[in-house]
Amino acid sequence: MASTQSSSVPSRGGGGGDGEKRLEALALDKVAEAADAVASAACAGEVVRAVHAVASLLFPVDSATVAGTVEEPFRSQIIEAATLSNDERDSWRCAFYQGPAFPTMSKILLGNVAMKWLRKIHASARNEIYDSFFVKGPPVEVIQALIPALSEKEDSKEDHQTFFSNLERLLILCLLDNKGVFQIVAEFASSNKHGDGIVNPDKTIFISRVAQLLTSVPDKARLGASAALTSPSFFKDVISQLLAGAEAVTVEFAADKDANEHCALSSMFHFLGEVLSRVSRRGSIGILVAELIPRIRNHLHRCVPADYKAISPNMIEHVSQSQFWFNMVEAMRDQHSVERLTEELLRQLASNHISDGEAYWILWTLFNQSFKRLTVMRAMFIDKFLLWKTFPLCCLRWILHYAVFECPPNSATETLLQRSFFGILQNLASIWSKKEFIQSYSVEQQAYITAAIGLCLEKLTKKELETTKDVLNSILQGVSCRLESPIDLIRKMASAIALTFSKVVDPKNPLYLDENCCENVDWEFGILSPKEIKAPLQAVESRKKPKTCENKRNAGEKKEKAIKHDIPGVRAKIVEIKLDHDQRSDTATSEQFEEEFDRESMNTDASGDSSLEPYDLSDDDTDLQKKFSHLSDLAAALRKPDDSDGVDNALSSAEKFVRASPDELRHNSGDLVRALVHVRCSDVAMEGEEDSAEEKRQKALIALLVTCPFESLDVLTKLLYSSSVDVSQRILIIDAMTEAAQELAEAKIVKTEHHGNLITDTSPSWLVPSNRGPPGAGPWREVSEPGTLLSWSHRYEREVPSRSGQVKSGKSRKWGLGKAKDLQVGWSRNRFPLYAAAFMLPVMQGYDKRSHGVDLLNRDFVVLGKLIYMLGVCMKSMAMHPEASALAPALLDMIRSRDVSLHAEAYVRRSVLFAASCILVSLHPSYVASSLIEGNKDISTGLEWIRTWALQVAESDPDTECMSMAMTCLRLHSEMALQTSRALESADHSKAGRALPSKLDSIIIPFGNMM
């Protein structure tokens, strides 16, 4: 050993490349020697000695410590090993790592040594002679040795374990603990420092490979590897080193004037870009951005003094680190990653509640270089981010300020709007105005673009607006198009734009299309807030109109209550005021007429006039309204449009009159219905009271429908498709029918308690599941679930004794009022099924016919939507009645037609989903079961269609509400399937006694997981 050591003293000056080659060969020899020694080693000491021999050539090894860990004779051998000077070691190391020696050595170290000996080597010795090879070597070389090894396979499980845990330990040590990535960055930078500046292709490939290796670590690490190697923490660490390193390097270069900065840094940026793109491709963009934001914010704070208000680009450019930030995005060659990065950046900035100004300057710092030069970048901001994505509103503001207005928000100097601005606005507006856009885009997207246009309009002046004729037209078209929409939010968007637009045209005369439209438009529309709280799936029903109705009613009640509550106070006030007034006027008049009535007051006694104490002067006009005594008068009064008071009176007394249901009602109802439909409330009612007049009219119609359904329906259903009525009247008819159906169906259930046994219906209701079950099972009890869809149908539960062997852990208690109540038998007084056919069948014919003034499928789709909704309500109103089963196939037929179920308007699709859900809940399971058994195609295919169609909608409908309704529909379908399976079970049970229990048990109940 000694001889080789002496001969191995390298001569640094010895002939350039030749000397290096020689040294590399020598190093390889040394490695070979060590390899032999390790291979033939019999004890750990021998291995330590062999490895130490190589290590001491390269690193300043503390031989004494190493020697202390082994026994003789190795101890003395280690101590005897010659120590080299620093220069000598450097040249050795250079040769070792650049040549083939390191890869060979690392193979030995990672393989044989790690698996057989490492555990036996003392930790301090391991630090000195084993880890040094990786920690002290250049990290670029080290990772090329370590990371590929991660994907190697070892035979035995134990070996596998040892091998990988060692590898991972080394990786953490060298990349994370030792700031390996930082070193890599520095290395790439310095390698090109004085080079020719052109990165040769080989080098490019090499850099990419390093980057690829680096980012592949979390993927390659084993499942049980240390947490530091999982992608979140690993990437977090890597990126922070990377950014810090790159920033430091840039600063260094900026200080060094000689260096050709751009060229010198190109490979470093190349590496940076590669790593960042790969990280983003691997789905860890969030971690990247989370690291990025604090750094860039710090940077901006560094650039701008805290008390400085207006930032100018110069201030940022002057700071040396800026060069790094300017180039960072451009370094990412991969456009997709840039996009992901930007998107994530915007979202995270929004959730951090960063001020508009700061956000603008962050965007400016990152993108200002590339935005001007690269059309791709501009397209990303202007096309992708404005038209295709949706961001929170604040992000939209930043995007607009950065990419469209090109000026910082709240900037004191009003910059002139760029020409590109008008192009963008034009583009936005033309898309916004299209009918197809309203139909086929999600509400979020629509709100987003609406907000974008609104924010752009706010920047405009009237003059500028007039120069862009097309914008004007598109906006008007878009507004009018939206105002027709049945969806409230869409109308709200239209009125918001209209308001903004009118403010541009004439700031003094804003146009309020909506009553609750406030001066400052809320562009968020409740959708575009940064924290997106998705409402939980609600019942289909509650999504639809009834809810709003109920709300309205509730609101009305509340209002009424409030008013009632207020009345005493108000009246007291009025009285007070009046009193005051009286007193004042008293004094005034008495002064005025003092002279005149002097005489009189002398003659009459003092209390003469004051004895004239006023009575309560309150007055109302309830008695003034004309009373109608004949139904025919009522109809006649309604037909006199010039006598508005008369019509008004007739409207207000109509409902009461009809509800009294006089004998002649049956003969006059048709006439009255016609009169009510044709009366023009808006002409008659006083301004501001049109709504109440409309309401009275609708209530009167409902009353008619309820009191004599057949006669009224006969007229109404004919009127519905006649060309003599307009859309509003059609909607009125449908609304009235809907509410009448609900009223007729309003189940008044008479419940009898089971206490006495006098007259009781002991046979359980057919709604109750069969009593079969394990012995000892308790009686079925109805579960009431207020507010959920499930309460439409009936749910029962019972107590089941635990099976033998089933361990009951803990105690469960139910708290409730009283004891388990007896099963109550109820009789439904639902009158609707009797009239259901008259309600549904006539209107289901001819909805698709197009005649003069009637075009339900296209123009009047709102009517169609309402009609289908009404049919759904009808179905629901006769839930579980045999009539439902008879009418369901017809309704299924209607909604299955392509024109209806695939209607372009979301409104119609929602109605169809609602109707489908109603069919599902209203069919009696036993009917479904029997139709399955008998092979009734109508029902089975119809129900199957509902399922597939709902699935399709839930997957791909642009309207989010449709999607959630479809989900509910699916849930209902599965519940219906469950009920049906129960019905089948009981049918089988009654047929075959206890013959087929095993088969029935295997029915999969899709119930538990759908809740």
Q: Where on the chain is the footprint of other proteins (CB under 8 A)?
A: 575, 582, 585-586, 589-590, 593, 596-597, 599-600, 603-605, 607-619, 621, 623-624
Q: Which of 95, 87, 23 is nearest to 60 (CA)?
A: 87
Alpha carbon distance, N-terminus to C-terminus of the chain = 77
Q: Provide the minimum distance between the beta carbon of 386 and other proteins in the complex, in angstroms, as a whole number.
A: 59
**CA distances, 549 to each of 92, 774, 865, 875 (Å):** 87, 47, 17, 19
Q: Provide the minimum distance between the beta carbon of 589 and other proteins in the complex, in angstroms, as a whole number.
A: 5
Q: Provide the minimum distance between the beta carbon of 625 and other proteins in the complex, in angstroms, as a whole number.
A: 11
Q: Provide the minimum distance between the beta carbon of 617 and other proteins in the complex, in angstroms, as a whole number.
A: 6
Q: Provide the minimum distance between the beta carbon of 690 and other proteins in the complex, in angstroms, as a whole number.
A: 22
Give the nearer residue to other proteins in terms of CB position, either 42 or 624: 624
Give the nearer residue to other proteins in terms of CB position, either 310 or 567: 567
- Cβ-based neighbour number of residue 324 at 10 Å: 24
Q: Provide the minimum distance between the beta carbon of 591 and other proteins in the complex, in angstroms, as a whole number.
A: 11
Give the nearer residue to other proteins in terms of CB position, either 571 or 850: 571
Q: Provide the minimum distance between the beta carbon of 688 and other proteins in the complex, in angstroms, as a whole number.
A: 18
Task: Supply 378's token pair.
Answer: 């501009």
Give the nearer residue to other proteins in terms of CB position, either 16 or 568: 568
Distance CA 606, CA 895 (A): 85
Dihedral Cα 419, 424, 427, 432, nearest 10 deg? -130
Q: E strands along 441-542, which residues?
A: none
Backbone angles phi, psi at 781, to 5 degrees: -125, 145
Length of the chain: 1011
Give the nearer residue to other proteins in terms of CB position, either 418 or 625: 625
Check: CB of residue 502 under 8 Å from CB of residue 521: no
Distance CA 185, CA 264 (A): 12
Give the nearer residue to other proteins in terms of CB position, either 18 or 619: 619
Q: Provide the minimum distance between the beta carbon of 606 and other proteins in the complex, in angstroms, as a whole number.
A: 8
| Element containing residue 796 per DSSP (H, E) | strand 795-797
Q: Provide the minimum distance between the beta carbon of 643 and other proteins in the complex, in angstroms, as a whole number.
A: 16
Q: Classify residue 414 by burial, with Cβ atoms within 10 Å: 0-12, 13-18, 19+.
A: exposed
Give the nearer residue to other proteins in terms of CB position, either 582 or 944: 582
Q: Provide the minimum distance between the beta carbon of 583 and other proteins in the complex, in angstroms, as a whole number.
A: 10
User: Tokens 């179905």 — which residue?
Assistant: 875
Q: Provide the minimum distance between the beta carbon of 648 and other proteins in the complex, in angstroms, as a whole number.
A: 15
Q: Classify residue 587 by burial, with Cβ atoms within 10 Å: 0-12, 13-18, 19+.
A: exposed
Give the nearer residue to other proteins in terms of CB position, either 584 or 748: 584
Backbone angles phi, psi at 322, to 5 degrees: -55, -35
Give the nearer residue to other proteins in terms of CB position, either 212 or 625: 625
- Three-state SS at 560: helix
Check: CB of residue 176 under 8 Å from CB of residue 142: no
Tally the C-alpha atoms within 13 A of residue 961's C-alpha that lie toward its C-beta. 23
Q: Provide the minimum distance between the beta carbon of 598 and other proteins in the complex, in angstroms, as a whole number.
A: 11
Query: String of b and e for 560-583 (b: at least 16 CB within 10 Å)?
Result: eeeeeeeeeeeeeeeeeeeeeeee
Backbone angles phi, psi at 498, to 5 degrees: -60, -40
Q: Provide the minimum distance between the beta carbon of 633 and other proteins in the complex, in angstroms, as a whole number.
A: 17
Check: CB of residue 567 under 8 Å from CB of residue 620: no
Tally the C-alpha atoms within 13 A of residue 77's C-alpha that lie toward its C-beta. 16
Distance CA 510, CA 501 (A): 8
- Three-state SS at 27: helix
Give the nearer residue to other proteins in terms of CB position, either 593 or 827: 593
Give the nearer residue to other proteins in terms of CB position, either 412 or 602: 602
Distance CA 81, CA 56 (A): 8
Give the nearer residue to other proteins in terms of CB position, either 436 or 623: 623
Q: Find residue 751's DSSP bridge partners.
A: 826
Q: Provide the minimum distance between the beta carbon of 689 and other proteins in the complex, in angstroms, as a whole number.
A: 17
Cis peptide leading into residue 73 (ω within 30°): yes
Check: CB of residue 96 under 8 Å from CB of residue 88: no
Give the nearer residue to other proteins in terms of CB position, either 590 or 952: 590
Query: String of b and e for 797-820 (b: at least 16 CB within 10 Å)?
Result: eeeeeeeeeeeeeeeeeeeeeeee
Backbone angles phi, psi at 745, to 5 degrees: -85, -10
Give the nearer residue to other proteins in terms of CB position, either 555 or 588: 588
The phi-psi region of residue 238 (left if phi > 0; otherwise alpha if psi is between -120 and 50; otherwise beta) is alpha
Distance CA 478, CA 471 (A): 10
Give the nearer residue to other proteins in terms of CB position, either 529 or 585: 585
Check: CB of residue 184 under 8 Å from CB of residue 210: yes
Distance CA 174, CA 171 (A): 5
Q: Provide the minimum distance between the beta carbon of 762 and other proteins in the complex, in angstroms, as a whole number.
A: 59
User: Tokens 């179920």 — which residue?
Assistant: 901
Q: Provide the minimum distance between the beta carbon of 600 and other proteins in the complex, in angstroms, as a whole number.
A: 6
Task: Supply 933's token pair.
Answer: 């058994």
Give the nearer residue to other proteins in terms of CB position, either 592 or 802: 592
Q: Provide the minimum distance between the beta carbon of 526 and other proteins in the complex, in angstroms, as a whole number.
A: 44
Q: Provide the minimum distance between the beta carbon of 629 and other proteins in the complex, in angstroms, as a whole number.
A: 13
Distance CA 957, CA 16 (A): 71
Check: CB of residue 268 under 8 Å from CB of residue 337: no
Q: Which of 91, 229, 123 is nearest to 167 (CA)?
A: 229
* Spatial CB neighbours of 683, under 8 Å, sequence gap ≥ 6: 641, 644
Give the nearer residue to other proteins in terms of CB position, either 124 or 604: 604
Give the nearer residue to other proteins in terms of CB position, either 519 or 616: 616
